[in-house]
């Protein structure tokens, strides 16, 4: 499988006017979309950007956003897509830490984009009308080692880091997916996940376009909107996080909406077997559970159609190597042994912005615990890392704790995951107080303003003293276990 730029050009020639991308009632064919991408790439370079400049996109979900994303790849401008719901301070920190040169926006988000650019010390780029730039700029096809995407992920420290993905990573991801979950010109994707998410870009936009499939963007996920779209479009492939599929369970499936559905792909958060059974019975289609991390491009393991294994996140996709390592060493453990999940191969990212590059021959450690069975299927058993996964979104406890510690009366805080029937996990805080502390609603208002709504607490408990481990640190594991034993997954608020 070649690089995206070459593969997309080939599909444009092969598919011609066949539909490529739809959103808000607008459908664009392959040849037209490719022409727009090439013209837009030229316009970006005409605006003063040069290959290698990092660009951030702040736009509504639309054909235009996807066009600009593809144009950045064509112009060799490494890009990130910003979330429109994230708190301004958090976005500014990402723009500064990521070393971005420019920000491209649509008219709807122009005021917000200018505020972000002013705060981050970069410029809002306004490319000229694409037709004025067509044919004036010729950019060589990017090399496999060149930076293509920057995807922000929260590490155990809580400060988001920009993962640097290369054009070679994109090609390797597509090769692996093509072998284990192949798609083609007869497929129609219903795209529901954020375009700021690695899955939303690589697996649901770039991969299908490299294989000649059709994509329809859902403007915003709600159960009602998703089911209406399924009834209208009759898609063949739908991908989502567990929370999305769970929210469909309370709604009847429109007659005929799943007639062509052949693949439900689910990842980004744990999916209980019991929940998977309910989803499959409700939608009448097998759920293919996959697993991966941004540091290993996107999909590391996947269950193949017809050979899925219950409770497993699948086998390593072709080109990837998975192993279970001892927490303190790099020696792979025997089959069925429990340890830390790690990967290596051509899907390994270039590294983090501002950090030494990853060793292309070394293991990428996941922070997750699991084991491999005799057939190479991976089973996850827990996490070493502290990140809370709320409906597929990674939340760093440390960032929430910082807001709490800045509030009157709180001298120590520990945020841990609470079980949640719908979202999987939600943040819950244990705090030590020196005096009267603010009400939960007031604290959540501060958290929402600083970090965004997803970080808000499902509950808070004041204790005389937070437990400590043998080295004097707050014993987060003990608090997590205490809360897990006390709270059932029936909790649905938050």
Strand partners, 183: none
Are the C-beta atoms of 149 and 201 separated by less than 8 Å?
yes
**Class for domain 388-486, per CATH?**
alpha beta
pLDDT at 237 over 60: yes
Degrees, nearest 5: CA angle 106-112-115: 125
Do 4-372 and 388-486 fold alike per CATH?
no
Calpha distance 150→459 (Å, rounded): 34
Q: Which helix (H) or strand (E) holds 32?
A: helix 30-46
Are the C-beta atoms of 14 and 212 separated by less than 8 Å?
yes
In Å, how far are 192, 391, 411, 459 from 436, measured between CA atoms? Answer: 43, 32, 11, 17
Give the pair of three-digit tokens for residue 312. 């497993």
Give the 3-state DSSP-derived string for 447-489, with helices as H, strands as E and coil as C: HHHHHCHHHCCCEEEEECCCCECCCCCECHHHHHHHHHHHCCC
pLDDT at 480 over 60: yes
Region of 360 please: left (phi>0), alpha (psi -120 to 50) or beta: alpha
Question: Once rounded to an integer, what is the mean pLDDT over residues 467-473?
Answer: 59
Nearest to 125 by CA among 50, 219, 61, 212: 50
Domain boundaries, the chain: 4-372, 388-486
In Å, how far are 40, 43, 74, 136 from 132, measured between CA atoms? Answer: 10, 7, 17, 8
- What's the chain's Rg over C-alpha atoms? 23
**Residue 327, number of CB atoms within 10 A of its CB:** 10
pLDDT at 494 over 60: no
Nearest to 4 by CA among 42, 50, 37, 45: 37
**Residue 132, number of CB atoms within 10 A of its CB:** 12
| Model pLDDT for residues 88-100, shown as the tens digit of each residue | 998 999 999 999 9
**Does residue 398 or residue 419 have the better pLDDT?**
419
Are the C-beta atoms of 152 and 80 separated by less than 8 Å?
yes
pLDDT given for residue 491 in this prediction: 45
| Model pLDDT for residues 122-147, shown as the tens digit of each residue | 999 998 875 555 556 677 889 999 99
E strand map for 333-408: 339-344, 351-352, 364-372, 378-383, 388-390, 393-395
| Model pLDDT for residues 331-344, shown as the tens digit of each residue | 999 999 988 999 99
Are the C-beta atoms of 425 and 277 separated by less than 8 Å?
no
pLDDT given for residue 158 in this prediction: 55
Predicted TM-score of the model (pTM): 0.82
pLDDT given for residue 471 in this prediction: 41
pLDDT at 277 over 80: yes
Give the pair of three-digit tokens for residue 262. 């052949």
Band the pLDDT of 476: cuts 50, 70, 90.
Answer: confident
Strand partners, 189: 215, 237
CATH placement of domain 4-372: 3.40.50.12780
The string over 14-29, giving b where at least 16 C-beta atoms fall within 10 Å of a residue's C-beta and e elsewhere, is ebeeebbbbbeeeebb
């Amino acid at each position: 499988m070649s690089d995206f730029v070459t593969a997309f050009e080939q599909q444009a020639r092969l598919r011609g006017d066949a539909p490529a991308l739809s959103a808000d009632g607008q459908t664009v064919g392959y040849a037209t979309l490719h022409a727009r991408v090439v013209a837009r790439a030229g316009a970006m370079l005409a605006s003063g950007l040069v290959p290698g400049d990092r660009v951030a996109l702040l736009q509504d979900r639309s054909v235009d956003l996807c066009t600009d994303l593809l144009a950045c790849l064509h112009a060799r401008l490494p890009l990130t897509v910003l979330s429109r719901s994230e708190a301004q301070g958090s976005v500014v920190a990402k723009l500064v830490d990521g070393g971005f040169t420019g920000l491209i926006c649509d008219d709807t988000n122009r005021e917000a984009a200018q505020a972000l650019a002013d705060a981050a010390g970069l410029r809002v780029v306004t490319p000229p009308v694409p037709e004025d730039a067509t044919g004036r700029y010729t950019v060589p096809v990017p090399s496999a080692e060149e930076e293509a995407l920057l995807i922000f992920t929260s590490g155990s420290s809580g400060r988001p880091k920009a993962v640097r993905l290369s054009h070679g990573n994109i090609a390797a991801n597509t090769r692996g997916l093509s072998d284990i979950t192949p798609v083609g010109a007869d497929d129609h994707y219903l795209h529901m996940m954020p375009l700021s998410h690695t899955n939303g870009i690589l697996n649901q936009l770039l991969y299908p376009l490299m294989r000649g499939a059709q994509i329809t963007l859902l403007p915003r996920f709600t159960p009602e909107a998703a089911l209406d779209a399924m009834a209208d479009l009759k898609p063949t492939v739908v991908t989502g996080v567990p929370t999305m599929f769970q929210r469909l369970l309370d709604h009847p499936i429109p007659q005929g909406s799943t007639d062509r559905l052949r693949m439900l792909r689910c990842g980004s958060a744990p999916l209980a077997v019991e929940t998977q059974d309910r989803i499959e019975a409700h939608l009448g289609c097998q759920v293919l559970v996959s697993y991966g991390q941004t540091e290993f491009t996107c999909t590391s393991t996947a269950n193949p159609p017809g050979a899925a294994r219950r409770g497993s996140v699948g086998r390593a996709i072709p080109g990837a190597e998975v192993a279970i390592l001892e927490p303190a060493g790099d020696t792979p453990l025997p089959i069925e042994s429990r340890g830390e999940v790690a990967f290596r191969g051509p899907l390994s990212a270039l590294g983090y912005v501002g950090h030494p590059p990853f060793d292309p021959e070394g293991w990428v450690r996941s922070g997750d615990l699991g084991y491999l069975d005799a057939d190479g299927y991976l089973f996850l058993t827990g996490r070493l890392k502290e990140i809370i996964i709320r409906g597929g979104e990674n939340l760093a406890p440390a960032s929430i704790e910082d807001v709490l510690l800045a509030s009157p009366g709180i001298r120590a805080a520990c945020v841990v995951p609470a079980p949640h029937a719908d979202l999987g996990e939600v943040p819950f805080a244990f705090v030590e107080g020196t005096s009267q502390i603010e009400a939960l609603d007031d604290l959540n208002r501060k958290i929402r303003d600083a970090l965004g709504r997803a970080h808000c607490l499902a509950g808070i408990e004041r204790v005389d003293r937070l437990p400590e481990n043998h080295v004097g640190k707050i014993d987060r594991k003990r608090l997590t276990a205490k809360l897990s034993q006390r709270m059932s997954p029936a909790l649905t608020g938050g």
